[in-house]
């Protein structure tokens, strides 16, 4: 995929995706704060119970002393220990409720974020230029819209909220621990900078590894998508073994990348676990020494161990989050490539012009990106309501002319212009232009839906009679009626269950339901027999005689009723005239006419 190395402004992109879910994330932060406060309270209750209630030591904390007095004093609590047990239970219930709310709001925030990302990506992809889609593999685009979205969601909804909770726990734990014993608190804090620096060291290495894995997964997805879509071609040429070996080779490479990443991650996790284990050991051992030497009380030691256990998990998670930022960063960059790709845009003063006028190509020159110039000084005018035939060899630029007319590719400003009714199509709104141009592409595409749904895709309000009228014009109605389920027959992916001629006729019928003033048939009758071709052309002439019709074909009989024909060769117009004029002009058209006529006579004989 192009430009995949480009960096994107990650924070602004995340903020953009958070629209609609910010209130849920705010609620998540609040509930995380409440849960963390509950975690801080329980060790203090245990500390007070051990030191001041059971141990009868004088309490030096004014807040705890005041609270104890309100409950009846330490002597009263010593005689009613159940009250302290009830307090621990109350804090635990409060924590459970807060954590439950945290999980609910976190899930809601996570799923809302995912929906927003999917909606924005899908909408953005639909409005990207045709040229962008030609440069990027469908499988890789799908992988970015699925796997990379999940990675981003997990980081934003899971790790970023977790990061807030971790920082809060660390801050609160360290404040309490330092208030109890500064030296022991410093010992507990010592591994944190080491783990963080160690994580930063692995950050780049892990990021590069995840990037290779992501890109390899995209290529694997593209390969699978292409093979599943083209399964008939693979089987027709007996290439199952070749494609299987090719897939397995790439899959083995992909697996190897993840195995290598697993080794890197194993070194990272095991090292951080060793550091965390050493920290726990130091706190327990040195804390016991301090307790025996009366530097801290027994209750403080117990509370310190509790706070340290809270601290170890966040410190380890903090290190892992720093490493996971590498993976999330790669995913956000890959999503950002799509989001920040420029969509099709109309000019500020774009108009909805009359589409029933003459169509004119004025000295048009064109080249696809990175390719030699294809069209050279194309200049002709097609009268409104007439039929234009275009003949030419493969690669002569016939389809490109129609892609430019429909603005699937934009014509550069210094390469001539195309007008309809005297209005430059660059000044016409794209949606208006395309709604008024019906086009049957060279390779018809049908969706995995019923025939009725495929034919009515241009207008959901069409009735069955409207659809059947268009199908009759395309000589398809009788064929559909012969199917067991008729118009409710389900069409496989890309119309795989239909023959080539049936797909072409279905695409023609779908276009005819639009009733557009301009109709384009881009070699769309090549897969039908000559008799059906003649019937379709006769029906089109009878029912849609007022529309401007463009016929692109290699078959002379298809073009025989055209009002005007242009002949292309290597991107240039070499002949132009009526069929009768060109038939005797001694040029390429006459040669093709004679060859096809001779073939027809031989067949008749």
In a domain, residue 2? The reply is no
Residue 3: pLDDT band by 50, 70, 90 thresholds?
very low
pLDDT at 358 over 60: yes
Residue 499 sits at φ, ψ, to 5 deg, of -75, 170
In a domain, residue 85? The reply is yes
* Tens-digit pLDDT profile for residues 487-508: 888 886 666 667 778 888 888 8
Measured CA to CA in angstroms, residue 134 lies from 2, 48, 206, 426, 474 at distances of 11, 70, 32, 21, 30
pLDDT at 598 over 80: no
CB under 8 Å to 339, separation ≥6 — which residues? 8, 13, 16, 120, 121, 124
The span from the CA of 304 to the CA of 280, in Å, is 11
Does 290 lie in the same domain as 167?
Answer: yes
Does 528 lie in the same domain as 502?
Answer: no
- Our count of domains for the chain comes to 3
- pLDDT, residue 7, reads 56
Measured CA to CA in angstroms, residue 136 lies from 3, 142, 362, 513 at distances of 10, 11, 32, 31
Q: Which of 60, 59, 67 is nearest to 41 (CA)?
A: 67
Residues of the domain holding 93: 10-339
CA atoms within 13 A of residue 225's CA, in its CB half-sphere? 13
In this prediction, residues 341-365 reach a mean pLDDT of 92
Residue 384 sits at φ, ψ, to 5 deg, of -60, 135
Q: What percentage of the chain carries pLDDT values higher than 90?
A: 20
* Tens-digit pLDDT profile for residues 240-298: 888 888 888 888 888 888 888 888 777 777 777 777 778 788 888 888 888 888 888 88
Does 306 lie in the same domain as 172?
Answer: yes
Does 377 lie in the same domain as 412?
Answer: yes
DSSP letters, 188-204, are HHTHHHHHHHHHHHHHH
Place of tokens 């989050």: 321
Token pair of 476, please? 């398809």
Does 418 lie in the same domain as 463?
Answer: no
Does 79 lie in the same domain as 191?
Answer: yes
Does 502 lie in the same domain as 603?
Answer: no
- pLDDT, residue 60, reads 67
Token pair of 320, please? 């892992």
In a domain, residue 487? The reply is yes
Residue 511: pLDDT band by 50, 70, 90 thresholds?
confident
In a domain, residue 252? The reply is yes
Does 310 lie in the same domain as 225?
Answer: yes
* Tens-digit pLDDT profile for residues 527-565: 667 777 777 777 777 765 678 999 998 888 888 888 999
Token pair of 33, please? 């704060």
- pLDDT, residue 121, reads 92
Does 447 lie in the same domain as 564?
Answer: no
Mean pLDDT, the chain, integer: 83
Does 294 lie in the same domain as 174?
Answer: yes
In a domain, residue 79? The reply is yes
3-state secondary structure 238-266: CCHHHHHHHHHHHHHHHHHHHHHHHHHHH
Residue 427: pLDDT band by 50, 70, 90 thresholds?
very high
Q: What is the CATH number of the domain that holds 456?
A: 3.40.50.300
In a domain, residue 501? The reply is yes
pLDDT at 2 over 80: no
* Tens-digit pLDDT profile for residues 133-148: 888 888 788 888 888 8
In this prediction, residues 347-371 reach a mean pLDDT of 91
pLDDT at 444 over 70: yes
Q: What is the CATH number of the domain that holds 29?
A: 1.20.1560.10
CB under 8 Å to 437, separation ≥6 — which residues? 355, 405, 406, 516, 518, 519, 520
* Tens-digit pLDDT profile for residues 282-306: 888 888 888 888 888 888 888 888 8
The span from the CA of 464 to the CA of 452, in Å, is 8
- pLDDT, residue 240, reads 83
- pLDDT, residue 389, reads 93
* Start-to-end Cα distance in the chain: 54
Q: Is the pTM of this model over 0.75?
A: no
- pLDDT, residue 290, reads 85
Does 375 lie in the same domain as 286?
Answer: no
Sign of the Cα pseudo-torsion (441, 445, 451, 453, in order): negative
- Report whether 549 contacts 388 (CB < 8 A): yes
In a domain, residue 350? The reply is no
Which range scores top for mean pLDDT: 95-104, 201-210, 282-291? Answer: 95-104
Does 457 lie in the same domain as 421?
Answer: no
In a domain, residue 605? The reply is yes
From 315, 339, 363, give the residue that closes a domain.
Answer: 339
Per DSSP, 414 falls in state T
CA atoms within 13 A of residue 508's CA, in its CB half-sphere? 31
From 308, 339, 370, give the residue that closes a domain.
Answer: 339
Per DSSP, 57 falls in state P
- pLDDT, residue 493, reads 62
From 291, 311, 339, give the residue that closes a domain.
Answer: 339
Residue 94: pLDDT band by 50, 70, 90 thresholds?
very high
Residue 120: pLDDT band by 50, 70, 90 thresholds?
very high
């Amino acid at each position: 995929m192009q430009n995949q190395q480009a960096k994107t402004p990650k924070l602004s992109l995340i903020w953009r995706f958070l629209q609609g879910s910010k209130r849920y994330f705010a609620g998540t932060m609040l509930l995380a704060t409440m849960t963390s406060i509950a975690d801080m309270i329980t060790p203090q209750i245990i500390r007070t119970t051990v030191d001041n209630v059971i141990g009868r030591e004088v309490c030096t904390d004014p807040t705890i002393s005041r609270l104890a007095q309100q409950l009846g004093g330490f002597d009263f609590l010593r005689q009613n220990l159940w009250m302290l047990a009830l307090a621990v239970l109350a804090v635990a219930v409060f924590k459970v409720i807060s954590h439950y709310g945290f999980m609910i709001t976190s899930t809601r925030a996570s799923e809302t974020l995912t929906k927003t990302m999917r909606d924005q990506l899908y909408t953005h992809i639909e409005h990207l230029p045709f040229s962008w889609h030609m440069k990027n593999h469908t499988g890789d685009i799908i992988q970015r819209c699925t796997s990379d979205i999940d990675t981003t969601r997990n980081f934003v909804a899971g790790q970023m909220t977790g990061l807030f909770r971790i920082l809060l726990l660390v801050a609160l734990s360290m404040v309490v621990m330092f208030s109890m014993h500064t030296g022991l608190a410093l010992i507990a804090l010592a591994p944190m900078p080491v783990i963080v620096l160690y994580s930063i060291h692995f950050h780049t290495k892990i990021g590069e590894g995840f990037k290779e894995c992501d890109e390899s997964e995209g290529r694997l997805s593209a390969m699978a998508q292409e093979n599943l879509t083209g399964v008939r071609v693979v089987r027709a040429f007996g290439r199952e073994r070749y494609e299987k070996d090719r897939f397995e080779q790439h899959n083995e490479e992909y697996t190897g990348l993840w195995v290598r990443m697993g080794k890197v991650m194993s070194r990272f996790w095991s090292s951080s676990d060793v550091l965390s284990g050493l920290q726990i050991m130091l706190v327990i051992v040195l804390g016991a020494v301090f307790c025996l030497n009366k530097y801290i009380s027994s209750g403080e030691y117990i509370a310190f161990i509790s706070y340290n256990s809270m601290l170890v998990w966040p410190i380890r998670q903090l290190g892992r989050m720093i490493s996971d930022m590498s993976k999330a960063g790669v995913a956000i960059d890959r999503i950002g490539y799509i989001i920040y790709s420029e969509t099709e845009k109309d000019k500020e003063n774009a108009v909805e012009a009359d589409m029933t006028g003459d169509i004119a190509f004025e000295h048009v020159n064109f080249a696809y990106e990175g390719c030699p110039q294809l069209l050279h000084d194309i200049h002709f005018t097609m009268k409104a309501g007439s039929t234009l035939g275009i003949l030419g060899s493969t690669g002569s630029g016939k389809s490109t002319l129609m892609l430019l007319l429909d603005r699937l590719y934009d014509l550069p400003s210094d390469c001539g212009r195309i007008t309809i009714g005297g209005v430059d199509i660059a000044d016409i709104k794209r949606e208006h232009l395309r709604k008024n141009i019906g086009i049957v592409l060279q390779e018809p595409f049908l969706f995995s839906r019923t025939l009725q749904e495929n034919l009515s895709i241009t207008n959901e309000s069409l009735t069955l009679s409207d659809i059947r009228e268009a199908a009759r014009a395309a000589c398809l109605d009788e064929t559909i009626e012969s199917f067991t389920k008729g118009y409710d027959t389900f069409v496989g992916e890309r119309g795989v269950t239909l023959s080539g001629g049936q797909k072409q006729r279905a695409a023609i019928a779908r276009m005819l339901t639009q009733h557009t003033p301009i109709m384009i048939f881009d070699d769309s009758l090549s897969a039908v027999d000559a008799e059906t071709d003649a019937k379709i052309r006769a029906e089109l002439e009878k029912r849609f005689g007022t529309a401007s019709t463009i016929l692109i074909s290699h078959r002379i009989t298809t073009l025989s009723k055209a009002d005007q024909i242009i002949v292309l060769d290597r991107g240039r117009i070499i002949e132009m005239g009526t069929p009768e004029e060109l038939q005797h002009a001694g040029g390429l058209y006459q040669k093709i006419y004679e060859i096809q006529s001779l073939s027809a006579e031989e067949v008749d004989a």
